[in-house]
Amino acid sequence: MKIKPLPPLNSLVAFESAARHMSFTRAAAELHVTQGAVSRQIRHLEDYLDQALFVRDKRQLKLTQTGTEYYTSVQQVLLGLAEATSDILQWQLNKQITVATSNAMASLWLLPRLPEFQDQFPQIDVRILATDTLKGVRSSEYDVALFYYRKPPAGMIATPLFRERVYPICSPGFLARQQLDDPEQVLATTQLWLDSSENWLTWKEWFRSVGLKQTEPRRRLNLNNYPMLIQAALNGQGIALGWEQLVEQYLDNQLLVRPVTNELNTEAHFYMLESEDQPRRKPGVDEFRDWLLAHVSEEHGYADGLPAANEPLSPSRPK
């Protein structure tokens, strides 16, 4: 059945705004059109209804009796339409979860594993917000965050995922041109340094861990992005500190190698972070959280199952 009679819908929007503000000027500003455009739309509606809706007074705009009654009905209809539209848009938004994480974690760890989640949950869209710090990022901008911290930030539900082993890595070609049998020889060659104000372990800390007091390299190349630093290592431009979980694919493919066996086990963790003040949990977040923890548990062989928030993990075998 055809719905009729229907007034010109654009005119209804202009009428509702003008009646609510009692001003064509303010209605025009709200709708981002000219005052003349609002006036024409309302005149068009009055012609369609064959009724005056406003008393046009030079000092004040007033609604006629018909206009007052019509405004009440029109506003209710438009509010109902807006609410129904909002529900649909929110439903579409709820199908998408946003994961905030560092460029390194996104490109080197999460993206290679994400197809597994997408295969299991094809109805959930994942948006990755790549940022090397959560400072300045509002909690409303993401649902879950994955970051490396020595101490997780306050106001977060922090679930530790795994610690890291850190060791020098370089390309096979770079190693073929160098004599790299021990940490002192690593110190004597070109090192790739990550410029970061965050919690990343530094070359100085690594050298101290292997008993070297002198930690200043003879040559260094500074980069402020870990994936770019790994690319420099792949290019044979120097030796980098490899975070095992982030570079294991390159080691498995022998694109990068370990020139020395020395390594440092970090005490800090990669964490999954969730805001404590989220008003409600978006659909899809629980599925992603459970998948992530199950994946980490299986990949690392954790004996006690999925960890509770803020509790340390207990691996069944050393990593």
pLDDT tens profile 19-54: 999 999 999 999 999 999 999 999 999 999 999 999
pLDDT of residue 197: 59
Percent helix, strand, coil in the chain, to 5, is: 45, 20, 35
pLDDT of residue 202: 85
CA distance 207 to 215: 6
pLDDT of residue 314: 38
What confidence tens digit (pLDDT) does each residue in 96-141 have? 889 999 889 999 999 999 999 999 998 888 999 988 888 878 877 8
Lateral strand order in the sheet of 144-149: 125-130, 96-101, 144-149, 269-275, 156-162
pLDDT of residue 315: 36
* pLDDT reading at 301 higher than 80: no
Number of Cβ within 10 Å of residue 286's Cβ equals 11
Spatial CA neighbour of 128 closest among 101, 95, 168, 92: 101
Is the fold of 9-93 the same as that of 97-161+268-300?
no
Please compute the mean of the pLDDT values over residues 74-92 and round it to a whole number: 77
Read off the pLDDT band of 17 (50, 70, 90).
very high
Please compute the mean of the pLDDT values over residues 286-300 and round it to a whole number: 88
CA distance 226 to 237: 14
Please compute the mean of the pLDDT values over residues 285-294 and round it to a whole number: 92
Number of Cβ within 10 Å of residue 80's Cβ equals 10
Helix (H) or strand (E) holding 194: strand 190-194
User: In the chain, where are the structural domains located?
Assistant: 9-93, 97-161+268-300, 165-265
pLDDT of residue 312: 41
Please compute the mean of the pLDDT values over residues 93-98 and round it to a whole number: 74
What confidence tens digit (pLDDT) does each residue in 184-232 have? 888 888 999 988 756 788 888 888 888 887 767 778 899 988 999 999 9
**Lowest-confidence segment of 67-76, 137-146, 277-286, 293-302 by average pLDDT:** 277-286
- Residue bearing tokens 């949990």: 281
Proportion of the chain above pLDDT 90, given as a percent:
46
Please compute the mean of the pLDDT values over residues 222-250 and round it to a whole number: 92
- Residue bearing tokens 């992530």: 292
Look up the CATH superfamily of 97-161+268-300.
Periplasmic binding protein-like II (3.40.190.10)
Q: Which CATH class is domain 165-265?
A: alpha beta
* pLDDT reading at 316 higher than 80: no
pLDDT of residue 162: 87
pLDDT of residue 92: 53
pLDDT of residue 319: 32
Helix (H) or strand (E) holding 288: helix 285-300
pLDDT of residue 64: 93
Fold observed for domain 9-93: Arc Repressor Mutant, subunit A (1.10.10)
